[in-house]
Amino acid sequence: MYTIKTTHKSIKTDELIKNYYDKEKIENFCKQCEKYNKIWSCPPYDFDTEQYVRQFEYIHIIGTQIIFDKTTIEEVNTIENIKKFSIGTILKERKKIFDKLLLLESKYPGSKAINAGNCSICEKCTRVNNRKCINESLIRYSLESLGFDVAKITSEILGIELKWSSETLPEYLTMASGFMTT
- Give the interface with ligand SF4 as residue ranges (CB under 6 A): 39-41, 119, 121-122, 125-127, 133-135, 138-139
Q: Which is nearer to ligand SF4, 89 or 142 (CB)?
A: 142
Rounded Cα gap, residues 81 and 77, in angstroms: 7
Q: Which is nearer to ligand SF4, 27 or 149 (CB)?
A: 27
Helix, strand, coil tally for the chain in percent (to 5): 40, 20, 40
Helices (H), 31-172: 49-54, 70-75, 79-107, 150-153
- 20 CA to centre of own chain: 15
Q: Which is nearer to ligand SF4, 79 or 139 (CB)?
A: 139
Q: Which is nearer to ligand SF4, 26 or 119 (CB)?
A: 119
In this structure, are residues 64 and 174 in contact, taking their beta carbons and an 8 Å threshold?
yes
Q: Shortest approach of ligand SF4 to residue 23 CB, angstroms?
A: 20
Q: Shortest approach of ligand SF4 to residue 133 CB, angstroms?
A: 3
Rounded Cα gap, residues 180 and 112, in angstroms: 5
Q: Shortest approach of ligand SF4 to residue 65 CB, angstroms?
A: 25
Q: Shortest approach of ligand SF4 to residue 64 CB, angstroms?
A: 20
Q: Which is nearer to ligand SF4, 133 or 162 (CB)?
A: 133
Q: Shortest approach of ligand SF4 to residue 124 CB, angstroms?
A: 8
- 75 CA to centre of own chain: 27
